[in-house]
Amino acid sequence: MGVEELGSRMRDQARVLVAGAGPAGAILSLELARHGVRSLVVDRAAEPPLFPKMDYINARSMELLRRLGLADQVRDGAVPAGFDADFLFVLDLDQPPVSVWRQPSPRKQAARYAAATDGTGAAEPYLRITGSLLEDVLRRALRANPLVDFQESVELTGLEQDADGVTVTLADRAAGQADRGRRVRADYLVGCDGGGSAVRRALGIDLPVSGPSSSRCSVYLRSSDPLLRRHGRAFITTSARGITLVSRDEADLWTASFQIPDGTRFEGDPVAAMSEKLGETITVDEVLTVSHWTGTLAVADRYRAGRVFLAGDSAHQFYPFGGHGANNRYRGRGGPGLEARRPPRRLGRRAAAGQLPGRAPPGRPVLQGDVQQPAGGLAALRAAGPGGRLPRAAGRIPGA
Ligand SMILES: Cc1cc2nc3c(=O)[nH]c(=O)nc-3n(C[C@H](O)[C@H](O)[C@H](O)COP(=O)(O)OP(=O)(O)OC[C@H]3O[C@@H](n4cnc5c(N)ncnc54)[C@H](O)[C@@H]3O)c2cc1C
């Protein structure tokens, strides 16, 4: 059977249907293909979003991207490997930093890994890449893979499952209201459709929140104002006035994020707000986009119901600080990717019939620990209050 014929058959019938081609869905589908499993991937967006979201890929995630043959392409779009990625903490930009956390460049990390003889060296160092560029690399890989049928501008709008499979309704967004949706049958469905997951909601799976949420307005901008590097190069500058400045490309692309009350949108002048919070009037050449998002800590009660699975932000959400978001999606063999891959190849009909409900997904307890640690730390900080001391008697921050 030729690739085209296979492609047209897969339009009506798929072994695995993946909803969402963000980092989780794209990597899952490519990983399935690596194991010889075909998938149909749909994403309601025609292209990656302009707002860059993530920028930090840790060494383990890079190893997994390398296994998919994508490390070089990701590196091509990344911040050049010679830049250190220091974190500066300032009261105001016009005062010297109160603290600097030094993080050696990917090149220095790679040299350290190469010299390590105690097993602590990774095959790849961490990288900084704008999330939209990473998603572009992943989308190109999906389009090029003969075991993947990738359909963009196609939205999953409904699902039903029975003992033998899942029937989903797909709407072509490009056709607008005229499209009444078509029904596609799949053996398995994986909801990689992000924090607001339609798949999770259709399954009625709860996503309990473990810690306080924090809503932000992020301004993605172009500026060559030297004031932004007043204290030298830094990956992230955090000011006590409540703003985080991220260098996106070590050239002139930045994001500036500041907190806003939950449930609101920032309606003011983003450049004025950014300047006020940095304590300097910054010249901005271009505002590329203004975005709103809420950081939260949450792990879904379950990652699957029968033949339908959840992976990525649809299953668990983290504050992005520290790069815990997408990096948790890539946790390879022990994470949700394995859960999604298993039924077609290993668990077969027992899993499909929901006869293995007692087994917790192997990644879930780990992720619950990841959530409890910062949630415990935040609770301790809140209890201590401004200027307060953390309880030393307990020996550790709760949850840590
Ligand atoms: C400001 C910011 C900075 C971040 N920095 C980092 C970082 O440095 N490192 C890190 O690891 N993480 C970071 N994150 C988190 C990271 O971006 C997310 O964890 C990651 O994008 C989640 O990937 P995902 O594929 O699960 O979901 P998403 O990226 O949300 O992708 C979901 C996809 O599903 C599609 N979709 C949604 N609904 C449907 C539907 N019904 N039908 C079809 N398609 C649908 C969407 O169009 C989208 O393409 C950051 C997040 C933010 C907001």
Q: pLDDT at residue 367 above 80?
A: no
Q: pLDDT at residue 226 above 90?
A: yes
Q: pLDDT at residue 354 above 60?
A: no
94 plus 193 within the same structural domain: no
287 plus 307 within the same structural domain: no
Tell me if 31 CB under 6 Å of ligand 1.
no
26-51 pLDDT tens trace: 999 999 999 999 999 999 999 999 99
Q: pLDDT at residue 310 above 70?
A: yes
Residue 375's pLDDT band (cuts 50, 70, 90): low
122 plus 12 within the same structural domain: no
Boundaries of domain holding 217:
83-127+213-293
320 plus 365 within the same structural domain: yes
Atom index in ligand 1 nearest the CA of residue 218 equals: 1
Q: Phi and psi dihedrals of 257, rounded to 5? A: -125, 135
When pLDDT is averaged across residues 2-13 and rounded to a whole number, the result is 49
Q: Which of 236, 270, 293 is the last residue of a domain?
A: 293
56-66 pLDDT tens trace: 999 999 999 99
> CA angle at residue 292 from 170 to 383, to 5 degrees?
120
Tell me if 277 CB under 6 Å of ligand 1.
no
Q: For position 177, what pLDDT does the model report?
A: 67
283 plus 323 within the same structural domain: no
In a domain, 53, yes or no: yes
Question: Cβ(316)–Cβ(300) under 8 Å?
Answer: yes
* pLDDT, mean over the chain: 83
186 plus 254 within the same structural domain: no
104-125 pLDDT tens trace: 999 999 999 999 999 889 999 9
260 plus 302 within the same structural domain: no
Q: For position 319, what pLDDT does the model report?
A: 83
Tell me if 312 CB under 6 Å of ligand 1.
yes
Query: Which residues, including other chains, have CB under 8 Å from residue 303's CB and lie 6 or more apart?
Result: 309, 310, 311, 315, 336, 339, 361, 363, 364
Predicted TM-score (pTM) of this structure: 0.83
Residue 213's pLDDT band (cuts 50, 70, 90): confident
62-84 pLDDT tens trace: 999 999 999 999 999 999 999 99
Query: Which residues, including other chains, have CB under 8 Å from residue 208's CB and lie 6 or more apart?
Result: 298, 299, 301
Distance 242 CA to ligand 1 centre (A): 24
Tell me if 23 CB under 6 Å of ligand 1.
yes
In a domain, 394, yes or no: no
Q: Which of 254, 276, 293 is the last residue of a domain?
A: 293
When pLDDT is averaged across residues 334-360 and rounded to a whole number, the result is 38
Task: Give CA–CA dist 165/37, Å, rounded.
Answer: 16
Residue bearing the bigger pLDDT, 129 or 332? 129
Q: pLDDT at residue 87 above 50?
A: yes
Q: For position 200, what pLDDT does the model report?
A: 98
Query: Which residues, including other chains, have CB under 8 Å from residue 211's CB and lie 6 or more apart?
Result: 296, 297, 371, 374, 375, 378, 379
Distance 327 CA to ligand 1 centre (A): 11
41 plus 141 within the same structural domain: yes
In a domain, 398, yes or no: no
CATH number of the domain enclosing 252? 3.30.9.10
115 plus 203 within the same structural domain: no
Number of structural domains found in the chain: 2
Q: pLDDT at residue 361 above 70?
A: no
CATH number of the domain enclosing 24? 3.50.50.60
Residue bearing the bigger pLDDT, 344 or 148? 148
Q: Which of 260, 293, 326 is the last residue of a domain?
A: 293
Distance 23 CA to ligand 1 centre (A): 7
In a domain, 233, yes or no: yes
Least confident of 246-250, 328-332, 391-395: 391-395
205 plus 217 within the same structural domain: no
Q: pLDDT at residue 363 above 90?
A: no
CA-proximal residue: ligand 1, atom 49 (nearest): 22
Distance 230 CA to ligand 1 centre (A): 32
Q: For position 196, what pLDDT does the model report?
A: 94
235-246 pLDDT tens trace: 999 999 999 999
117 plus 256 within the same structural domain: yes
Q: For position 379, what pLDDT does the model report?
A: 55
Give the CA distances from residue 112 to residues 109, 118, 120, 121, 142, in Å, rounded to whole numbers and listed in that order: 5, 11, 9, 7, 33
Residue 1's pLDDT band (cuts 50, 70, 90): very low
Q: pLDDT at residue 137 above 70?
A: yes
Most informative mutation of 18, 31, 53 for ligand 1 (most atoms within 8 A of CB): 53
Q: pLDDT at residue 218 above 80?
A: yes
Q: pLDDT at residue 369 above 60?
A: no
Q: pLDDT at residue 180 above 80?
A: no
Question: Cβ(63)–Cβ(123) under 8 Å?
Answer: yes
CA dihedral of residues 223, 50, 256, 294 (deg, nearest 10): 170
Q: What percent of the chain has pLDDT over 70?
A: 76
Q: For position 205, what pLDDT does the model report?
A: 97
Half-sphere exposure (CA, 13 Å, Cβ side) for 291? 16
